[in-house]
Amino acid sequence: MDKRIVVTRTVPESAVEVLRGAGTVQVCSQDRPLSVAELHDAVRGAHAVVTMLHDRVDAELVAAAGDQLQVVANVAVGYDNIDVPAVTGRGVTVTNTPGVLVDATADLTLGLLLMVTRRLGEGERLLRAREPWTFHLGFMLGTGLQGKTLGIVGLGDIGQAVARRARAFGMNIAYTGRRRAAAEVEAELDARHLPLDELLRTADVVSLHCPLTEQTRHLIDERALAAMKPTAFLVNTSRGPVVDEQALAKALHDGRIAGAALDVFEREPEVEPALLELDNVVVVPHLGSATVETRTAMAELAARNVAAVLAGAEPITPVR
């Protein structure tokens, strides 16, 4: 029996070729996230579904697909869009794409860190607005990184990659998370493990690399922002809802922290309007993994996961 594979949004052709070796492929042609009704209609009769981070995958989607559904392959490392117990409890395998986007996301994190601390976006906006300017020693001063403390929330693969890059800029590393890192990782990065409250109080830059869970939703709220130094910066390349954007906008407006750089947003693709009015905010549209090489590798890994499951083999990167 030929297997039907549904891809909810366009992916690189190399990934589609992998999928064609495993069954009949339907790629949804709409260049936008599907509505719930459209998504459920698209997956009817599917044996495999390749999903994006904006697709809600739950018991209702599994029911809409039918009993023949075997695998949902999410083209993202995060899977907060998937109700994993509800899906796997119905005998459907869930996979994600860890590992392949570590370097791209870490690179972007450092780019955002430099943009916000050195006021690069602000400077470019000034020139594009054709505002008059001249060089002088007090003009558009930013903050150097050397000797400053980077506080990493979530020292997983991406957090570690960010730490290595930050050390090359002369930064000191502190971190917090659900569990302590291995001794060899702490030694390599010369990283100090701190409780979250202490990290917030002492870090010059707080960089978020934790998954979105019920425990981390609005982890950075009004209370957390009040704990940070008024000279500190916040960087978020994890998931938008980890930060309470309204509380962040108010803290930035009131000068309670120095600046923020965001790649992800609480209600994507919407951005809290108050953030867009502030010069001490850098915003980019979820570009963490946005290199040709990385997005291709993500899609190909998802496709290989589908092919493995449909062939009766173990998936490469299952979500348990």
Looking at the structure, do residues 16 and 28 belong to the same domain, yes or no?
yes
Residue 152, classed as helix, strand or coil, is: strand
Residue 264 corresponds to which amino acid? V
Across the range 165-169, mean pLDDT stands at 98
Looking at the structure, do residues 24 and 95 belong to the same domain, yes or no?
yes
The residues assigned a catalytic role are 239, 268, 286
Residues composing the chain: 320
Looking at the structure, do residues 109 and 90 belong to the same domain, yes or no?
no
Is 241 a member of any domain?
yes
Give pLDDT, residue 31. 83
Is 267 a member of any domain?
yes
Q: Is 278 in contact with 266 (CB distance < 8 Å)?
A: no
Residue 25, classed as helix, strand or coil, is: strand
Looking at the structure, do residues 154 and 16 belong to the same domain, yes or no?
no
Looking at the structure, do residues 139 and 277 belong to the same domain, yes or no?
yes
Give percent above pLDDT 70 in the chain. Answer: 100
14 C-beta neighbours (distance < 10 Å), count = 12
User: Residue 153 belongs to what H/E stretch?
Assistant: strand 149-153
Looking at the structure, do residues 95 and 134 belong to the same domain, yes or no?
no
Looking at the structure, do residues 249 and 303 belong to the same domain, yes or no?
no
Provide, for the chain, the percentages of residues in helix, strand and coil under a 3-state DSSP scheme, each rounded to the nearest 5.
35, 15, 45
**Tokens 């297997």, residue located:** 3
Is 18 a member of any domain?
yes
**Cα(259)–Cα(250) distance, rounded to whole angstroms?**
11
Is 125 a member of any domain?
yes
Which residue pairs from 16-20 have beta carbons closer than 8 angstroms and sit at least 24 positions apart in sequence? 16/303, 18/300, 18/303, 18/304, 18/306, 18/307, 19/48, 19/50, 19/303, 19/306, 19/307
Looking at the structure, do residues 108 and 44 belong to the same domain, yes or no?
no
**pLDDT at position 1 over 80:** no
Looking at the structure, do residues 67 and 118 belong to the same domain, yes or no?
no
**Cα(280)–Cα(117) distance, rounded to whole angstroms?**
9
pLDDT digit string, tens, across residues 116-156:
999 999 999 999 999 999 999 999 999 999 999 999 999 99
**pLDDT at position 201 over 80:** yes
pLDDT digit string, tens, across residues 21-69:
999 999 998 889 999 999 999 999 999 999 999 999 999 999 999 999 9
Q: What is the CATH number of the domain that holds 136?
A: 3.40.50.720
21 C-beta neighbours (distance < 10 Å), count = 11
Structural domains in the chain (count): 2
Please, what is the average pLDDT of the chain? 97
pLDDT digit string, tens, across residues 221-244:
999 999 999 999 999 999 999 999
| Domain interval for residue 301 | 4-99+292-310
Q: Which of 227, 217, 236 shows the shortest CA–CA distance to 275?
A: 236
pLDDT digit string, tens, across residues 61-116:
999 999 999 999 999 999 999 999 999 999 999 999 999 999 999 999 999 999 99
Is 316 a member of any domain?
no
- Per DSSP, the residues of 66-127 read -TT--EEEESSS--TTB-HHHHHTTT-EEE---STTHHHHHHHHHHHHHHHHTTHHHHHHHH
